[in-house]
Amino acid sequence: MNPTQERAIEKLLEKVEKPARYTGGEMNTQVRPWDEAELHFAFCFADTYEIGMSYLGMKILVSLINSLPYMSCERVFMPWVDFRAGLKAEHLPLFSLESRKALSEFDVIGFSLQYEMSYTNILDMLDLGGVPVRAADRGEDAPIVFAGGPCACNPEPLAAFFDAFQIGDGEEMMVEFLDTLRECRRQGLNKNDTLLRLSQIEGVYVPRFYQPEYNDDGTLSAFRRTDERAPETVRRRILKDFSNAFYPDTFPVPYTDIVFDRIVLEIMRGCTRGCRFCQAGMIYRPVRERSMERIIALAEQLEKATGYEEMSLSSLSSGDYSCLKELIVALMDRFQDKRVSVSLPSMRVDNLVKQSLEELSRVRKSGLTVAVEAGTQRLRDVINKGVTEEDVIRSVSDAFDSGYSTVKLYFMTGLPTETDEDLRGIGDLARKVVAAYYAVPKERRAKGLRVTCSASVFVPKPFTPFQWAAQDTIETVMEKQGRLREYLKTKGVTFNWHDSELSFLEACISRGDRRIGEVIYTAWQDGCMLDGWSEHFKYDTWLKAFEKCGLDPAFYANRERSYDELLPWAFIDMGVTQRYLQLENERAKQAKTTRDCRKGCNGCGLQRYEGLCNV
């Protein structure tokens, strides 16, 4: 930025809400001086600072990239509307927090894909940063723009905007990616050759080397390579030695409040439960644990480096960590004098040990969260959610008994095979939870019972057994939510539900093909962005965008696919095989459960990789 621009930024900062979002300088965020790095990486998060800074994957990767001696990695977030308007009015580019460089000045731009409804933000950020939004419009000198993260498992909706995708665990792939890029730069390779080299790295997908073809009914007829040197199947990258893989020994400490302002220790990756709706549970297989010694060592380093007073153990299902109790006790002993509390965010009800609850409440009493997902045992069997009513009641009773009075129950509506009985079941369960509270003697229970039932709308996701399923139409969803509201009219119970229109679009995009990219582009051109923020969500504009592109959203969201349909993400080998997903879908139809694969392998496909699953 030149001095005039700097002054304009300072003026702008005085006028906007939460200016500290844009000023950086937080503890542990100092990077190499701009001129001392060979390659400059802009790590972009397509949502606001507070959300992005709470996201663990970003902390891991930014730290990893900065640990490479030739790299410098800076952060860029989606500006809030006021700042964005100011940037536009003053003709200022979107810039990085560390060195205030325009996005266009970077060599590599990496986006983390967390949520489909932030895709318009990606286009907006590129555009604000002075980078042509479409990959095809970016010349030889433009930055390489790529993406990774969970939503990259169906990259097709974004294929037009990205030069490459990283699919799977990033820790090793990122290093190979950047090493290769640097090598290509040194050799003076052009963009196409560079991308071809990158496509040889396991987990990397370069959309320009592939071309989809369609049938008259709109389904895919073929997905062909345009360059035979690119791999036919893109294999998801899987980290073998998770325990010793890179993990930051320092965390940035924001000045202002962010969503999760604490040390996060990822104790495990993957999940063995096999819930059939859960994409994370399928795409992060197999389960890999970090050793207790490593976790404790990291905890000590991070506590020293940050001064945080809270640390949380994170994974898809932390309760399954094999020596959880020992770990919690060890951490508590070590940090009690320092007044550091330890918490488990994603506690599962079915293995919630009363004792560890007591351990936790020694330091901090917050609410208990139980993901029940469905209202009847039958439907829970359909989705393979291994939680029974007894489990729920037992753990909320334990919680009430140990002094908790706030319980959150999470449900989903619109799951395959759902009937009215399943919806009524949600109401029944909520009432039983209330009864469990009153069953605890008055002297022992905490005052102010609050049971919150949240119902999200089921969104079928790629690489799950329900990837073929139809989502309920918006009308059906709203009608069901109305019924549920009736069933949940009980004192002490509050009911929250998700926006059905947002979930509908999420369903369109998450299982979208390459043509959806045009819809995203059109919606953005017509003013859609920050869609995840209800005050900015413009459903009608989205619908018009579909119309303009000649596409029917119901084709993507509400249509059941047959097994022989070529799915847009079928060229990716996620580890779990399509055959296994089919099998699981069939079992779901019969409400047959599948065991937790810690108890024995179910042959999901990961067994093809030697030494990955230790069952």
Q: Which does 442 bind (CB under 5 to 8 A by kind): ligand SF4, other proteins, none?
A: none
Which residues between 582 and 601 bind ligand SF4 (CB under 6 A)? 597, 601
Nearest-approach distance from CB 264 to other proteins, in angstroms:
16
| CB of 101 closer than 8 Å to CB of 74 | yes
Q: Which is nearer to ligand SF4, 286 or 517 (CB)?
A: 286
Structure tokens at 296: 């404790």
| CB of 415 closer than 8 Å to CB of 458 | yes
Give phi and psi for 89, each to the nearest 5: -60, -35
Q: Which is nearer to ligand SF4, 454 or 607 (CB)?
A: 607
Nearest-approach distance from CB 195 to other proteins, in angstroms:
37
Q: Which is nearer to ligand SF4, 196 or 604 (CB)?
A: 604
d(CA 310, CA 363): 10
Nearest-approach distance from CB 26 to other proteins, in angstroms:
6
**Which segment (116-124, 232-240, 510-518, 607-615) binds ligand SF4 by CB under 6 A?**
607-615
| 606 binding ligand SF4? (CB under 6 A) | yes
Q: Which does 607 bind (CB under 5 to 8 A by kind): ligand SF4, other proteins, none?
A: ligand SF4
| 604 binding ligand SF4? (CB under 6 A) | yes
Q: Which does 10 bind (CB under 5 to 8 A by kind): ligand SF4, other proteins, none?
A: other proteins
d(CA 45, CA 109): 10
| 417 binding ligand SF4? (CB under 6 A) | no
11-30 mask for ligand SF4 (x: CB under 6 A)?
Answer: --------------------
Structure tokens at 384: 């393979």
Q: Which of 286, 512, 517, 553 binds ligand SF4 (CB under 6 A)?
A: 286
Per CB under 8 A, residues contacting other proteins are 10-11, 13-14, 19-20, 23-28, 30, 253, 255-257, 304-309, 338-339
Q: Which does 130 bind (CB under 5 to 8 A by kind): ligand SF4, other proteins, none?
A: none
What length is written for the chain?
615
| CB of 289 closer than 8 Å to CB of 321 | yes
Nearest-approach distance from CB 70 to other proteins, in angstroms:
23
| 275 binding ligand SF4? (CB under 6 A) | no
| 239 binding ligand SF4? (CB under 6 A) | no
Q: Please name the residues in contact with 133: beta carbons below 8 A apart, sequence gap of 6 or more.
A: 123, 126, 127, 161, 521
| 615 binding ligand SF4? (CB under 6 A) | yes
Nearest-approach distance from CB 580 to ligand SF4, in angstroms:
8
- Torsion from C-alpha of 54, 55, 59, 62, nearest 10 degrees: -120
d(CA 572, CA 238): 13
| Residue-by-residue DSSP string for 87-120 | HHHTTPPPB-TTT--BGGG-SEEEEE---GGGHH
Structure tokens at 108: 């590599």
Q: Which is nearer to other proteins, 124 or 303 (CB)?
A: 303
Nearest-approach distance from CB 357 to ligand SF4, in angstroms:
28
| 285 binding ligand SF4? (CB under 6 A) | yes
d(CA 322, CA 445): 31
Q: Which of 72, 194, 503, 602 binds ligand SF4 (CB under 6 A)?
A: 602
Provide the 8-state DSSP code for 22.
Answer: G
Provide the 8-state DSSP code for 237.
Answer: B
| 500 binding ligand SF4? (CB under 6 A) | no
Give phi and psi for 573, each to the nearest 5: -100, 105
Nearest to 382 by CA among 594, 151, 193, 107: 594
Give phi and psi for 185, each to the nearest 5: -60, -45
Nearest-approach distance from CB 272 to ligand SF4, in angstroms:
6
Q: Please name the residues in contact with 39: beta carbons below 8 A apart, sequence gap of 6 or more.
A: 70, 71, 72, 107, 108, 178, 181, 182, 185
3-class DSSP state of 566 = strand
- What is the tally of helices (H) and strands (E) in the chain? 20, 19
Q: Which is nearer to other proteins, 8 or 173 (CB)?
A: 8
d(CA 467, CA 516): 17
Q: Which is nearer to other proteins, 309 or 518 (CB)?
A: 309
Nearest-approach distance from CB 434 to ligand SF4, in angstroms:
37
Nearest-approach distance from CB 324 to ligand SF4, in angstroms:
19
Nearest to 147 by CA among 119, 189, 176: 119
Q: Which does 363 bind (CB under 5 to 8 A by kind): other proteins, ligand SF4, none?
A: none
| 574 binding ligand SF4? (CB under 6 A) | no
Q: Which does 305 bind (CB under 5 to 8 A by kind): ligand SF4, other proteins, none?
A: other proteins
Q: Which does 367 bind (CB under 5 to 8 A by kind): other proteins, ligand SF4, none?
A: none
| 613 binding ligand SF4? (CB under 6 A) | yes
Q: Residue 586's CB: how many other CB atoms inside 10 A?
A: 12
| CB of 501 closer than 8 Å to CB of 474 | yes
Nearest-approach distance from CB 608 to ligand SF4, in angstroms:
8
Structure tokens at 514: 């390459």
Nearest-approach distance from CB 23 to other proteins, in angstroms:
6
Q: Which is nearer to ligand SF4, 299 or 597 (CB)?
A: 597
Q: Which does 13 bind (CB under 5 to 8 A by kind): other proteins, ligand SF4, none?
A: other proteins
| Residue-by-residue DSSP string for 25-72 | --BT-----GGG-SEEEEEEESS-HHHHTT-HHHHHHHHHHHHSTTEE
| 607 binding ligand SF4? (CB under 6 A) | yes
Q: Which is nearer to other proteins, 301 or 541 (CB)?
A: 301
Nearest-approach distance from CB 30 to ligand SF4, in angstroms:
40
d(CA 7, CA 432): 61
Q: Which does 358 bind (CB under 5 to 8 A by kind): other proteins, ligand SF4, none?
A: none
Q: Please name the residues in contact with 587: beta carbons below 8 A apart, sequence gap of 6 or more.
A: 384, 465, 593, 594
Nearest-approach distance from CB 448 to other proteins, in angstroms:
20
Listed in sequence order, the DSSP H helices in 206-353 are 279-283, 292-306, 324-335
Nearest-approach distance from CB 416 to ligand SF4, in angstroms:
21
Q: Are strands 268-269 and 263-266 parallel, antiparallel or unpaired?
A: unpaired
Provide the 8-state DSSP code for 302.
Answer: H
| 268 binding ligand SF4? (CB under 6 A) | no
Q: Are strands 71-77 and 39-45 parallel, antiparallel or unpaired?
A: parallel
- Contact residues: ligand SF4, CB under 6 A: 272, 285-286, 597, 601-604, 606-607, 613, 615
